[in-house]
Amino acid sequence: MRPRETDAPEPLFPMPCACQNLRRLTRMVTRIYDQELRKAALEVSQFGLLMALHATGEANQKRLSEGLAVDSTTLTRTLSLMRRQGFLRVRRGKDKRERLYSLTQAGQRRLREGQPYWKSAEGKLRRQIGEANWKRMTGAVSHLTAAVAGS
């Protein structure tokens, strides 16, 4: 005897922990963006770094780590990979230990190539959650990010 659809277990476990729920949601959303950005040979973490450097023009690793809220070890790996791929240039800062990163022409080109896929991912997520939820989500995420960053 086949179970009725209403008897089927829910695919997601209910969790009372805000952190676990946010991490789960982030993984699911990341998959949507990565699926699209893969068509431009990018991951969403790389695309985010390209966008940040495009916006700032040039930044050191500390500023990138703080601005993206990424731990330094993870950022070091991503920066090294993207530098080897020819997307980033690095130069010394005022302090000999400081490194300043900026986009190369290849990095600017890859950002442009990734933008249609990023927009596609944004559209897909927007359709999945609906316009009203999209607006609530973007407002809430901005507000909560600022509140937690300030604590």
127-138: pLDDT as tens digits: 999 999 999 999
pLDDT at 18 over 90: yes
State the pLDDT at residue 27: 96
Lowest mean pLDDT across 26-30, 38-42, 146-150? 146-150
Domain map (residue ranges) of the chain: 17-128
At 13, is the pLDDT very low, low, confident or very high (cuts 50, 70, 90)? Answer: confident
Residue 3 has pLDDT above 80, yes or no: no
Across 6-20, 92-106, 111-125, least confident range = 6-20
Q: How far is Cα 144 from Cα 62, in angstroms, rounded to an integer?
A: 22
Q: Is 51 exposed, middle or buried (0-12, 13-18, 19+ CB in 10 A)?
A: middle
Give the C-alpha distances (Å, rounded to integers) separating 103 from 57, 100, 124: 8, 10, 28
CA dihedral 81, 117, 141, 75 (to 10 degrees): 0
**pTM > 0.75: yes or no:** yes
| CATH number of this structure's domain 17-128, picked from the four choices 3.10.450.40, 3.60.15.10, 1.10.10.10, 2.120.10.30 | 1.10.10.10
* pLDDT tens, residue by residue, 71-110: 999 999 999 999 999 999 999 999 889 999 999 999 999 9
Q: Tell me, what's the pLDDT at 5? A: 56
